[in-house]
């Protein structure tokens, strides 16, 4: 649990005050908060697509929550689907594998689909789930290119129209300390924000030699090294910091100029692992973003600093978030295991939104905004040039992946 409770939002009020009955995929559910002894009626039939490291861990969190029943699993690798299926006691006939395994999972009668695959596949997987009337819980980043990002934006709107829930699992926005500090910033506590600095440091991921198919790169986060599968390091990793910047600014940058390099030993994937990108906004505000992703023992540093006219805000994923100076200084605190508890809160919100009929799906547009911001920075750094957001959006460049030799 975090040390300080967040202030109640409209969604919190509705979760407590909405009626006891909700209809999901044609099945009437009874809110577990409304009637004692009826928890089984509110258990959501969930299917897991992608049950590698994080997918299997998310499945454990669903069991811990108690409001879900995992009735189907799918993974490209049959061995993973079988192993997690055994652990979760999923019937063998509901364990699917290969590239098309998700189709069988969606058709198996699940009410909610959890997507934990390389992000290249997210637009296709989310489309199938939304089109089938399923609720969707998806990891970030939402796509690897502009067309995929815009597709997710469309799917979020469609989910709202058809009364289904769509959640993108960014943990930072669930933290009460981030929420309070950024709320004060939006109320003018720091005056005009002149410049923002964002940063991301980690140790990178294994990047083995390429083979005649991409199959070995589909697991162990190897795909983070690749443009097509993972969208590159800035999109797959740095997006955590850039998402907070988007939260602070509330808008997209208009242009970016960037540089980058590959500094990891013996690289094979195409992604850069060192980024220096300067973003410009329509009011003259500047964002300076830096990241590095190679093993040098300097890691675990994710956040941003917003410099205002009368003070500054510093946010951190692992360290203290606080605000010094200005009209409303905020002492803040260190998030309580944000990686784990942020996912727990998102899983709980997903369940509550389904049961209470909350279909506004606010995480989709904000996640698309951070995705486009990261893509602009990626392209500016990759090309070592200045690009406008309009140029990137108008180009509609699609990243294509060679799937030959893979099991369908």
pLDDT tens sequence across 24-52: 333 333 333 333 233 445 699 999 999 99
pLDDT at 205 over 60: yes
> DSSP H helical segments within 237-287, as ranges?
239-249
Tens of pLDDT, residue by residue over 292-339, are 999 999 988 999 999 999 899 999 999 999 999 988 899 999 999 999
pLDDT at 385 over 70: yes
CB neighbourhood size of 39 (10 A): 12
Threshold 0.85, pTM exceeds: yes
Domain 176-335+365-395, classified CATH 3.90.1150.10, yes or no: no
- Short-list 342, 336, 391, 381, CA closest to 61: 342
Tens of pLDDT, residue by residue over 100-155, are 999 999 999 999 999 999 999 999 999 999 999 999 999 999 999 999 999 999 99
List all residues 6 or more positions away from 124 whose beta carbon is below 8 Å from its beta carbon.
none
Distances (CA, A) of 397 to 69, 190, 365, 379, 394: 39, 38, 20, 11, 8
pLDDT tier for residue 173 given thresholds of 50, 70 and 90 = very high
What's the pLDDT score for residue 343?
Answer: 97
5 versus 261: the higher-pLDDT residue is: 261
pLDDT at 23 over 50: no
What's the pLDDT score for residue 165?
Answer: 98
What's the pLDDT score for residue 43?
Answer: 92
Q: Which residue has the tokens 């192993």?
A: 83
What's the pLDDT score for residue 41?
Answer: 57
pLDDT at 363 over 90: yes
What's the pLDDT score for residue 310?
Answer: 87
pLDDT tier for residue 10 given thresholds of 50, 70 and 90 = very low
- Short-list 329, 333, 290, 335, CA closest to 313: 329
CB neighbourhood size of 183 (10 A): 14
Tens of pLDDT, residue by residue over 190-202, are 999 999 999 999 9
Of the candidate CATH numbers 3.40.640.10, 3.40.50.720, 3.40.50.9100, 3.30.70.120, the domain formed by 10-171+356-363 belongs to 3.40.50.720
222 versus 18: the higher-pLDDT residue is: 222
Question: What is the location of CATH 3.40.50.720 in the chain?
Answer: 10-171+356-363
Measured CA to CA, the distance from residue 48 to residue 186 in angstroms comes to: 37
What's the pLDDT score for residue 29?
Answer: 36
Question: What is the location of CATH 3.30.360.10 in the chain?
Answer: 176-335+365-395
> DSSP H helical segments within 220-302, as ranges?
227-230, 233-236, 239-249
Measured CA to CA, the distance from residue 320 to residue 299 in angstroms comes to: 16
What's the pLDDT score for residue 18?
Answer: 35
């Amino acid at each position: 649990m975090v040390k300080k409770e967040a202030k109640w939002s409209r969604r919190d009020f509705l979760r407590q005050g909405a009626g006891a009955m909700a209809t999901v995929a044609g099945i009437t559910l009874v809110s577990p908060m409304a009637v004692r002894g009826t928890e089984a009626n509110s258990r959501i039939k969930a299917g897991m697509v992608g049950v590698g490291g994080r997918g299997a861990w998310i499945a454990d969190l669903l069991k811990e929550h108690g409001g879900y029943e995992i009735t189907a699993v799918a993974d490209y690798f049959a061995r993973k689907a079988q192993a997690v299926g055994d652990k979760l006691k999923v019937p063998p006939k509901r364990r699917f594998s290969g590239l098309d395994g998700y189709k069988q999972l969606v058709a198996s009668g699940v009410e909610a689909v959890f997507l934990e695959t390389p992000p290249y596949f997210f637009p296709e997987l989310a489309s199938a789930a939304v089109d089938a009337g399923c609720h969707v819980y998806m990891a970030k980043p939402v796509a690897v290119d502009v067309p995929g990002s815009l597709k997710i934006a469309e799917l979020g709107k469609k989910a709202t129209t058809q009364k289904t829930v769509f959640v993108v699992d960014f943990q930072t926005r669930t933290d009460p300390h981030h929420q309070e500090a950024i709320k004060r910033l939006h109320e003018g506590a720091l005056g005009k924000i002149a410049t923002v600095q964002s940063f991301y440091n980690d140790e990178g991921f294994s990047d083995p030699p390429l083979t005649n198919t991409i199959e070995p790169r589909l697991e162990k986060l190897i795909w983070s090294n690749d443009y097509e599968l993972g969208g590159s390091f800035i999109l797959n990793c740095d997006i955590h910091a850039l998402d907070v910047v988007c939260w602070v600014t509330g808008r997209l940058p208009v242009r970016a100029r960037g540089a980058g390099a590959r500094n990891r030993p013996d690289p094979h994937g195409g992604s850069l692992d060192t980024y220096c990108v300067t973003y410009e906004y329509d009011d003259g505000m500047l964002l300076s973003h830096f990241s590095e992703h190679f093993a040098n023992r300097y890691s675990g540093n994710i956040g941003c600093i917003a410099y205002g006219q009368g003070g500054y805000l510093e946010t951190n994923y692992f360290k203290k978030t606080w605000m010094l100076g200005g009209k409303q200084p905020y002492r803040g605190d260190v998030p309580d295991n944000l990686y784990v508890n942020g996912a727990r809160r998102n899983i709980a919100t997903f369940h509550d939104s389904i049961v209470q009929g909350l279909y506004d799906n606010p995480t989709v547009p904000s996640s698309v905004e951070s995705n486009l911001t990261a893509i602009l920075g990626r392209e500016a750094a990759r090309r070592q040039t200045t690009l406008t957001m309009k140029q990137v959006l108008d180009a509609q460049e699609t990243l294509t992946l060679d799937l030959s030799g893979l099991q369908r």
